[in-house]
Chain A
Amino acid sequence: MSQFGNSYVELDRLVKAYPNPRGEATRVVDGFSTKIAEGEFVSVIGHSGCGKSTVLTMLAGLNDVTSGNIILAGKEVSGAGPDRAVVFQSPCLLPWMSAFDNVMLGVKRCYPKATRLERKQLVEYFLSIVGLGDAMHKYPKELSGGMQQRVGIARAIALRPKMLLLDEPFGKLDSLTRMDLQETVLNLLNEHRITTMMITHDVDEAIFMSDRVVMMTNGPRAKVGQVLDIPFERPRNRVDVLGDEMYYDFRGCLIDFLEGQDRRKHGEPDASMPEPKPVTKPETVQDLMLVQSPAEVSAV
């Protein structure tokens, strides 16, 4: 149902393992795979501690991959780089620098050949489109949490990254500021079409902002459990999205998944609930390649 075509970003069987006290490797993330098309907005949801942020930091190059591959625009990713800009829950601004200088820091690195005027115009442009045209010379301590996060977003977008990585970027904001900033980010992405992955706990946020929601199973050994396509047209309008007849079906689908994971996490299934189906696989049978059929979905 997605309008997106071939993959731009490919996460192939990502594994992240840490040694446990017994010296064994505990796989926090175990075989996370997904493909993301250019310009697509993908959210990852799952319970706390399932490994969502681990996936994001591996993609950002901030966390070594134990095994698996990450391909971005046809090249394997290793280490951090300005082609992947990250916005964390806390904006992590340098407190002794103004909003303008915080953004300029990255711009200088990414545009070494630009003139001083060009860099200044870039910084002013990105601060103004996140709504800080009048506050760009303020210091972080003079800005609210929402305004600080706007600086963080402007700083990330100003790098003109191939991919934007958002790690619960609105998690610390009050609901009104959160909604405002969600729309700011969507407007930015409508204009700049940056491929985006967002980690969130918020199913409404995931539905409103994403083209696709990747649902992660509980860790350890977390991986993709199910994927939900969100076919709402862009640019999106919150009232239209909330009024769409499918909205509450999508919401129910995500909540059903999270509740199912929650029941397993807390061992709460009733006695009649069967064990997961054991995997019986003939030993002689190898892994099958999945044929990429161009078939369109047409439920009748």
Chain B
Amino acid sequence: MPAHADNTLVIGAEVWSPVDGAMVRMAAAPSIGDLQDRFRAGQPEGLSVLVENSAADKLPTLLKLDDADAIAWVWPVIDRDQVNSVVVMYFSNAGDVTAAVELWSGRPGRSELCLADACYTGLGRFAKLSPHISFPKGSGLPGLTWETNIPQVLEGLGTSPTFMRATGAESEGLGVGFALPCIAGSSLQAVTLLLSGTASPIARAYETWLPQQRGDSLRLARIDGAYIASPALEKASTQLDVPAGDTWIGRAWATRKPEVVCDSTGQSLERKGAVEDGLTSGTAIPIIILDDVAAVAVIMW
């Protein structure tokens, strides 16, 4: 069953930045007003505390907003040991959908990534087993992300040799995954996995962009991507690169801060095919290791 914009699980994204010692909501997609209305019941005060804590601990966090049937995923962007921004993404947790948002991190006395927190929707055995499983460096999607230090896009979870929980993914209908490393300096803080079926995807497109030398200039190039029910976008995205500062993705690289874009037409995504496929919003998250932006993770819906 093809996905459409209205069954995507992403509800919106925000960027918070430190201002005078406090975290302040700076940008959102859709608009800040819309998101605030949507999550007024979802304890915004609690959310701001969560953002503050995430920034202080330099650790990503999940919050289940029961009143709003939603999940908030809180993700600090750490640049030279300082949190320069916090991305908050809201995912719908309602209805007949199959999805997981997982946070994997280290644990004292262990050499693997263990499940630190997770929200599962429509999953049975997969959700029961995952807290008991851990992945060493290089193994499974979390371990691969740890080994490469860059966001990983993985399609066909049910048959992929890379996805160690493939049998569970296949039997429970998980099809596509996106993994992002949260890095502070040269330390891996955590890995987030966004997993969903293709009928009700968390987002419509996931991309990994890396800085690459092209002739005399360093450009940002799309090296991997998954597109769900977005054929025009997929076709237009196979070979793309942008200079630093160009488009919202290039800006995330140049400014080292996350970007969120949104408009009802999809024009602000600045990508051929996005309008045709009905995508309207996106977020670009820089992955900074020591002094360099090693990659930019892009999520569009």
Contact = CB atoms under 8 A, between A and B. Distances in A.
Interface of A: 1-2, 4-7, 10, 12, 31, 33-35, 37, 217, 223-231, 246, 249-250, 252-253, 256-257, 259-260, 264, 269-270, 272-277, 279-282, 284-286, 288-300
A285 B294 contact: yes
Contact of B144 (A31, A269, A277, A297): A277
Nearest to B64: A300
Contacts of A6: 108-109
Interface in B106-164: 106-120, 125, 127-140, 144, 146-150, 152, 154-156, 159-162, 164
A5 B108 contact: yes
B154 A226 contact: no
A72 B34 CA distance: 57
A246 B154 contact: no
A279 B111 contact: no
Given A277-B144, A280-B148, A281-B149, A291 B184 contact: yes
B166 interface: yes
B252 interface: no
A70 to B, nearest CB: 13
Given A277-B160, A299-B119, 18 more contacts: A35-B109, A223-B138, A226-B135, A229-B133, A246-B132, A252-B167, A269-B159, A276-B161, A277-B152, A279-B148, A288-B183, A288-B188, A291-B189, A292-B110, A293-B59, A293-B105, A293-B107, A300-B118
Q: Which of B138, B147, B152 has the most CB of A within 10 A?
A: B138
Interface residues of B, number: 70
Given A280-B223, A299-B117, A223 B136 contact: yes
A6 B107 CA distance: 9
B136 A33 contact: yes
A244 B190 CA distance: 31
Contacts of A284: 292, 294
Nearest to B136: A224
Nearest to B190: A293
Contacts, number: 193
B134 A281 contact: no
Contacts of A264: 161
Interface string B53-68: 0000001001010000
A2 B150 CA distance: 29
A81 to B, nearest CB: 24
B161 A275 contact: yes
B217 interface: no
Given A272-B159, A279-B148, A291-B105, A252 B110 contact: no
A225 B161 CA distance: 11
A286 B152 CA distance: 17
A250 B130 CA distance: 10
B97 interface: no
27 contacts: A7-B109, A31-B138, A34-B112, A226-B136, A227-B133, A228-B132, A228-B133, A229-B132, A252-B167, A259-B167, A274-B156, A274-B161, A280-B223, A281-B147, A281-B148, A282-B149, A282-B150, A282-B211, A285-B150, A285-B292, A286-B186, A288-B146, A293-B59, A293-B106, A295-B59, A297-B118, A300-B120
